[in-house]
């Protein structure tokens, strides 16, 4: 039952808050920001419906108009369909995924104001922005470059809530279908094909480049529940679009420019902060950047993310397979600009970005390839849903359906043996696994490697690293003594393995204990390794490791403390970082294999076994 007296008190309090908030209004926006203003606009719209207050209604009109003015409706912009969130003093576009409720807010305002033009603008923006958000996922932010990760529930929910609001107002089939597809991100329609919902109904905190952050905070769980609640209200006919079995056939591709082959280009790689991947490629003359890439057989708009610019324009030439485009582009500092189009081949082909400047230079940070269509394949029905909201000539406008999987992309299949046989090194009663063949990361850098080693940045070429000189002083003939155990170390070149589910086999023997030396980047990670004994019995052991510069928090112990580390440019940072170790008792039977978990941000440097009675002398 409603308490009338309490309702009046709440309404009066809401009006007092509202009057205080609008004292910060600048040209219709709170502090000049559209994201902040959209939250206030949603609240003001609800408040207006309680009493048609003229002051509130006037703000709803001003604020919705100001947000609409910040809508980007430009097919040649990566921001197409999004609302600029840059501060008033900034002329360049900026947008972030989390909490971007502008379209939801102006949709609600359009109903209150009975403004059909405002509603039409929000519908158009929602459809056009979905081409990016469905093909890339609920990306983190767009500024001078595209930050694809982390992808979080709060960003997905904002887009889904906007779609649901618009469907409520329009009953537009295309909006409902798109909204349900956006929700499929939670079910595993994402870069890692992993569900973002835990077994207990919790919402995971985020999708990273190489793993799911399975922490489950209140914000993520609430955002997930809100999203699923919105989708559950859609008519049953749209359930087919909300499925973890759906596959996006032409995802957005983001290429770090410095990772492309420069050949004889007049260019140089510059490392630093403020760049995607911690580096850019500075171009000062003729250039031809190449890399192999596999794109679906459809057209892609190609964008360049630029940093510093000291020239006026460039003629960009793009090549991929039989497609070629040439475009004169006026450059802007710290901006994302369209530089042409290419058509994918469905197979791995060489992609070339070329051109020439006669004076000055510019920094190229990323190349971003965005398909002009969204194609979602449903293997259960063996049909493809084709969403064309950006005027592509390759399909009819709106949503259409085609039989079968309309795009095929060549898939690289790496033959991984079921179990890799590794050698062992025996020393003073210890048996050490020789893991060098498995090492896939250089995390301990010599002075010569400090600019190229990369412990913590799987998305880029350059990252921070341990300083090998400090560790080298503690090694005896390549061994590190820690407590009552010892580890065989390699500090030249690749020196550790990121865990991607590797399986190893070694000569079976009875050991009393296993000890593992490792650490993690970007947080603490909990996992288990599977041990397989010669008689087929199995044992799970903890293989959890903490952030390399954060201290032990998952039950491991410190093996070695570094007084500093190299940053991604090779400079020394006085940040204390660590290697950790953890040991587990073994069963009294011959052990023959280990299967590591898939925890790509966990690094293993060494594995040692102790025979009964072994200890460091």
User: Using one digit for the tens of pLDDT, what is the confidence trace for 199-209?
Assistant: 999 999 999 88
Does residue 241 carry a pLDDT above 70? yes
Tell me which residue of 302, 413, 292, 386 sits closest to 345, measured CA to CA.
292
Does residue 1 carry a pLDDT above 80? no
Give the confidence band of 408 by pLDDT, cuts at 50, 70, 90.
confident
Mean predicted confidence (pLDDT) in 417-441: 90
Q: Are residues 120 and 229 located together in one domain of the fold?
A: yes
What the block records as the tokens of 326 is 């040439």
Give the confidence band of 246 by pLDDT, cuts at 50, 70, 90.
very high
Contact 599, 499 (CB under 8 A): yes
Strands (E), 464-589: 465-467, 479-482, 485-488, 497-500, 503-510, 513-520, 528-533, 538-542, 557-562, 565-566, 572-573, 577-585
User: Using one digit for the tens of pLDDT, what is the confidence trace for 145-187?
Assistant: 999 999 999 999 999 999 999 999 999 999 999 999 999 999 9
Give the confidence band of 616 by pLDDT, cuts at 50, 70, 90.
low
Give the confidence band of 415 by pLDDT, cuts at 50, 70, 90.
very low
Q: Are residues 101 and 227 located together in one domain of the fold?
A: yes
Q: Are residues 48 and 95 located together in one domain of the fold?
A: yes
User: Using one digit for the tens of pLDDT, what is the confidence trace for 468-478?
Assistant: 999 999 999 99
Q: What CATH number has the domain bearing residue 87?
A: 1.50.10.10
What the block records as the tokens of 195 is 């569900």
Report phi then psi at 430, rounded to 5.
-105, 150
**Domain assignment present for 56:** yes
**Domain assignment present for 204:** yes
**Whether residue 150 has a cis bond before it, omega within 30° of 0:** yes
Mean predicted confidence (pLDDT) in 60-71: 98
Q: Are residues 365 and 444 located together in one domain of the fold?
A: no
Does residue 400 carry a pLDDT above 50? yes
Q: Are residues 235 and 265 located together in one domain of the fold?
A: no
**Domain assignment present for 1:** no
Q: What is the pLDDT of residue 38?
A: 98
Does residue 416 carry a pLDDT above 50? no
Q: Give the whole-angstrom CA distance, residue 543 versus residue 601.
A: 12
Tell me which residue of 335, 370, 369 sits closest to 86, measured CA to CA.
335
- What is the share, in percent, of the chain residues with pLDDT greater than 70? 98
Does residue 614 carry a pLDDT above 80? no
Q: What is the pLDDT of residue 312?
A: 94
Mean pLDDT of the chain: 94
Q: Which of 219, 244, 269 marks a domain boundary?
A: 244
Q: Are residues 227 and 301 located together in one domain of the fold?
A: no
| 108 vs 211, residue with greater confidence | 108
How far separated are the first and last CA of the chain, in Å rounded? 77
Q: Give the whole-angstrom CA distance, residue 3 versus residue 328.
A: 66
Q: Are residues 69 and 209 located together in one domain of the fold?
A: yes
545 three-state secondary structure:
strand
Q: Are residues 221 and 285 located together in one domain of the fold?
A: no
Mean predicted confidence (pLDDT) in 513-521: 97
Q: What angle do CA 564, 565, 571 make, to 5 degrees?
A: 110
User: Using one digit for the tens of pLDDT, what is the confidence trace for 521-565?
Assistant: 988 898 999 999 999 999 999 999 999 999 999 999 999 999 999
**Domain assignment present for 3:** no
Q: What is the pTM of this model?
A: 0.85
- What is the share, in percent, of the chain residues with pLDDT greater than 90? 88
User: Using one digit for the tens of pLDDT, what is the confidence trace for 114-127?
Assistant: 999 999 999 999 99
Q: What CATH number has the domain bearing residue 271?
A: 2.60.120.260
Q: Are residues 181 and 94 located together in one domain of the fold?
A: yes
User: Using one digit for the tens of pLDDT, what is the confidence trace for 330-352?
Assistant: 999 999 999 999 999 999 999 99
For tokens 């887009």, the residue is: 159
Q: What is the pLDDT of residue 57?
A: 97
Give the confidence band of 412 by pLDDT, cuts at 50, 70, 90.
low
Which of these ranges, 285-289, 408-412, 451-455, has the smallest mean pLDDT?
408-412
**Domain assignment present for 317:** yes
47 three-state secondary structure:
helix
Domain count for the chain, please give it. Answer: 3
Contact 595, 503 (CB under 8 A): yes
Residue 570 lies in domain: 420-610
**Domain assignment present for 388:** no
Q: Are residues 291 and 207 located together in one domain of the fold?
A: no
Q: Are residues 95 and 151 located together in one domain of the fold?
A: yes
Q: Are residues 92 and 148 located together in one domain of the fold?
A: yes
What the block records as the tokens of 581 is 């170790």
Q: Which of 244, 261, 282 marks a domain boundary?
A: 244
Give the confidence band of 210 by pLDDT, cuts at 50, 70, 90.
confident
Does residue 386 carry a pLDDT above 50? yes
Q: What is the pLDDT of residue 56?
A: 97
Q: Which of 222, 244, 266 marks a domain boundary?
A: 244
Q: What is the pLDDT of residue 410?
A: 65
**Domain assignment present for 450:** yes
Q: What is the pLDDT of residue 215?
A: 86
Tell me the C-alpha to C-alpha distance, in Å, between residue 405 and each of 8, 377, 385, 392, 401: 58, 6, 9, 19, 11
Alpha-helical (H) ranges within 412-536 are: 468-472
Q: What is the pLDDT of residue 409?
A: 72
Q: What is the pLDDT of residue 615?
A: 54
Does residue 417 carry a pLDDT above 70? no
**Domain assignment present for 412:** no
Q: What is the pLDDT of residue 414?
A: 44
């Amino acid at each position: 039952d409603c308490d009338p007296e309490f309702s009046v008190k709440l309404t009066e309090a809401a009006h007092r808050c509202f009057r205080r908030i609008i004292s910060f209004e600048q040209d219709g926006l709170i502090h000049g920001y559209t994201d902040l203003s959209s939250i206030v606009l949603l609240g003001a719209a609800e408040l207006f419906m309680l009493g048609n207050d003229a002051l509130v209604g006037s703000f709803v009109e001003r604020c919705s108009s100001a947000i609409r003015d910040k809508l980007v409706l430009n097919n040649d912009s990566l921001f197409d369909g999004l609302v600029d969130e840059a501060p008033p003093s900034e002329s360049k576009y900026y947008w972030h995924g989390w909490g971007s409720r502008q379209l939801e807010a102006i949709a609600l305002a359009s109903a209150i104001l009975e403004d059909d033009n405002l509603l039409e603008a929000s519908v158009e923006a929602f459809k056009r922005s979905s081409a990016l958000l469905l093909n890339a996922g609920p990306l983190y932010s767009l500024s001078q470059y595209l930050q694809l990760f982390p992808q979080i529930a709060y960003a997905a929910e904002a887009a889904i809530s906007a779609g649901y609001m618009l469907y409520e107002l329009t009953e537009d089939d295309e909006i409902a279908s798109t909204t349900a597809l956006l929700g499929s991100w939670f079910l595993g329609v994402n870069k890692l094909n992993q569900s973002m919902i835990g077994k207990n109904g919790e919402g995971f905190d985020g999708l990273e480049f190489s793993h799911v952050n399975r922490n489950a905070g209140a914000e993520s769980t609430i955002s997930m529940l809100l999203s699923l609640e919105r989708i559950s209200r859609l008519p049953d006919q749209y359930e087919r679009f909300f499925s973890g079995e759906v596959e996006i056939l032409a995802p957005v591709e983001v290429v770090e420019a410095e990772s492309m082959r420069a050949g004889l280009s007049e260019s140089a790689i510059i490392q630093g902060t403020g760049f995607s991947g911690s580096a850019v490629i500075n171009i000062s003359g003729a250039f031809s950047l190449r890399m192999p890439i596999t794109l679906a057989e459809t057209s892609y708009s190609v964008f360049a993310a630029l940093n510093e610019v000291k020239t006026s324009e460039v003629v960009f030439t793009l090549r991929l397979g039989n497609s070629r485009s040439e475009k004169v582009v006026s450059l802007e500092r710290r901006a994302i600009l369209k530089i042409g189009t290419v058509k994918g081949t469905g197979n791995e082909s060489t992609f070339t970005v070329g051109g020439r400047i006669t004076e000055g230079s510019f920094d190229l940070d990323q190349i971003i390839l965005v398909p002009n269509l969204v194609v979602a394949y449903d293997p259960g029905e063996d049909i493809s849903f084709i969403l064309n909201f950006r005027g592509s000539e390759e399909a009819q406008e709106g949503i259409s359906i085609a039989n079968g999987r309309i795009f095929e992309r060549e898939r690289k299949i790496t033959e991984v043996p079921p179990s890799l046989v590794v050698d062992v090194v025996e020393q003073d009663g210890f048996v050490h696994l020789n893991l060098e063949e498995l090492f896939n990361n250089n995390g301990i850098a010599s002075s010569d490697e400090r600019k190229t080693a990369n412990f913590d940045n799987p998305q880029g070429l350059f990252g921070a690293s341990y300083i090998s000189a400090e560790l080298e002083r503690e090694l005896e003939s390549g061994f590190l003594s820690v407590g009552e155990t010892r580890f065989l170390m390699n500090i030249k070149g690749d020196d550790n393995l990121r865990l991607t589910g590797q399986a190893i086999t070694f000569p079976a023997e009875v050991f009393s204990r296993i000890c593992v030396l490792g650490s993690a980047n970007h947080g603490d990670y909990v996992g288990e390794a599977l041990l397989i004994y010669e008689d087929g019995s199995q044992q799970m052991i903890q293989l959890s490791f903490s952030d390399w510069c954060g201290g032990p928090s998952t039950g491991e112990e410190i093996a070695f403390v570094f007084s500093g580390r190299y940053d991604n440019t090779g400079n020394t940072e006085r940040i204390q970082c660590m290697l950790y170790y953890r040991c587990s008792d073994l069963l009294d039977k011959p052990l023959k294999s280990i299967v590591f978990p898939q925890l790509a941000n966990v690094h293993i440097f060494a594995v040692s076994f102790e025979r009964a009675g072994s200890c460091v002398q």
